[in-house]
Amino acid sequence: MMSHHSVFKDESKLDINYLPTRMFHRDRESRLLMEFFSFLTRCPDRMSQRVIVIGEVGTGKTVLCQTFGKSISLEVGKKGIKFRYIHVNCREYRGNLSQILHQAVTVFQPNFPARGYSAGEILKALLQVLEEVQVFVILALDEFDSLVEKEGSDAVYELTRLQEMQQGKSQRISFIFIQRDLSAFKVLDDSSQSTLQRNIIRLERYDKEPLIDILNDRVRGAFEIATVTEDVVSLVAVLAASESGNARFGIELLWRAGKYADAQDAKRVEPECVRQAVSAIIPTFKRSELGGFGLHEKMLLLAVARFFKESKEAFVTLTEIEETYAVICEGYDVQPYSHTQLWKYIQRFTQIGIIKTEVGSTASRGRSTLISLPAVPAGELEHELYTLLKLEFR
């Protein structure tokens, strides 16, 4: 049996829980977090802080905060101050405050009982142990909205006013609340909302270029050299950008595409592997829709499918597609349509979601409109269109 050579070098670099060594395109947000908590390096016992980090799925909220946690731990440690950054995902504990606080207290008391204590009692125990060991903490509560939904105003009020329980003692706990948006706070009463300091860091969606940087970094760590081309990374970035700039989606798509490449014993990840991977996750259109296209729409789309199947490229110009379309028309003894009409068809395909277009430039093509077939396997599309065209000319 021949040994199988994988395109992967270390696929754990694509795991959802992997923390990269570098955070791309979030320098401003990182600096702002560091500024909010800079008091920890100067006067940690005199104040505490609450910061809200919001952003859609895949905008890097968790990675930003965990990377910050490493950085602030180093900075505070240089001052000889005892400090811990603790990150808890509230959704993992179904928003149950007692269980969430239990995770925090067991960092210092691993044998603390899991049952038999209320959230208030666990919170008092946490404050007590922090005072005993003389340590300061940032408690980052990820997916904080799940706690708000489950526990409501009382839990938020208890967390944010806990320093009042420590009159005359050092303020030892600060918070980072991480969630998608601020809508969850609408259910809170006025007293609870007022306790949340409006230090808000908003992470905007990634567009294509930042996504390319993020994906390239993961490719370097996860894949063997020369198994993933820039065109493939760009194609995945286009898809991730269309999914609300979701970097997590792009990283998972890279992993899935690599799995398709390995399953086919391919030496590298081809654009077709990406199309196969995304079509298994997000069906972009029904095959029945193809039957509603006119003859020349089918032939033009066949030209797109044939080009990508044969060329192994991820992007093509309309001129190259028109050349392939002309050859197909000749094969069926049909007069080709004009460029203007074909451009209208391309726009329709884009609206439906079968293809994507963007203005770009390459060394060989110059600046022009580039077409990609991001989410439909070219081979499958070609087969479907050939079948439909046989019915047209029978």
Class of domain 27-203: alpha beta
Query: Cα–Cα distance between 394 and 392 in angstroms, integer?
Result: 6
pLDDT at 192: 77
pLDDT at residue 186 greater than cutoff 90: no
CB atoms within 10 A of CB 369: 14
User: What percent of the chain clears pLDDT 70, i.e. is strictly above it?
Assistant: 94
Give the residue, 140 or 311, on which the prediction is more confident.
Answer: 140
Backbone dihedral region of 148: left (phi > 0), alpha (psi from -120 to 50 degrees) or beta?
alpha
Average pLDDT, stretch 43-48? 91
pLDDT at 222: 98
Please say whether the beta carbons of 301 and 349 come within 8 A. yes
pLDDT at 108: 96
Please say whether the beta carbons of 309 and 377 come within 8 A. no
Domain range list for the chain: 27-203, 207-281, 287-392
Q: Please, which pLDDT band fits residue 5 given cuts at 50, 70 and 90?
A: confident
Question: How does pLDDT run across 280-329, given as a tens digit for each residue?
Answer: 876 656 667 788 899 999 999 999 999 999 988 999 999 999 999 999 99
Residue listed under structure tokens 């016992």: 45
Round the average pLDDT of the chain to a whole number and report it. Answer: 91
Question: How does pLDDT run across 322-361, given as a tens digit for each residue?
Answer: 999 999 999 999 999 999 999 999 999 998 888 999 887 6
What is the CATH number that goes with domain 207-281?
A: 1.10.8.60
- From 24-33, 71-80, 189-198, 339-348, the region with the lowest mean pLDDT: 189-198
Please say whether the beta carbons of 326 and 286 come within 8 A. no
Question: Within 13 Å, how many C-alpha atoms sit on residue 278's CB side?
Answer: 28
Q: Please, which pLDDT band fits residue 1 given cuts at 50, 70 and 90?
A: very low
Class of domain 287-392: mainly alpha
Closest by CA to 16, choosing from 236, 269, 249, is 249
- From 27-36, 82-91, 181-190, 354-363, the region with the lowest mean pLDDT: 354-363
pLDDT at 164: 65
Question: How does pLDDT run across 361-373, given as a tens digit for each residue?
Answer: 655 555 688 999 9
pLDDT at 13: 97
Tell the burial category of 260 from Cβ atoms under 10 Å away from its Cβ (0-12, 13-18, 19+).
Answer: buried
Query: Cα–Cα distance between 362 and 85 in angstroms, integer?
Result: 46
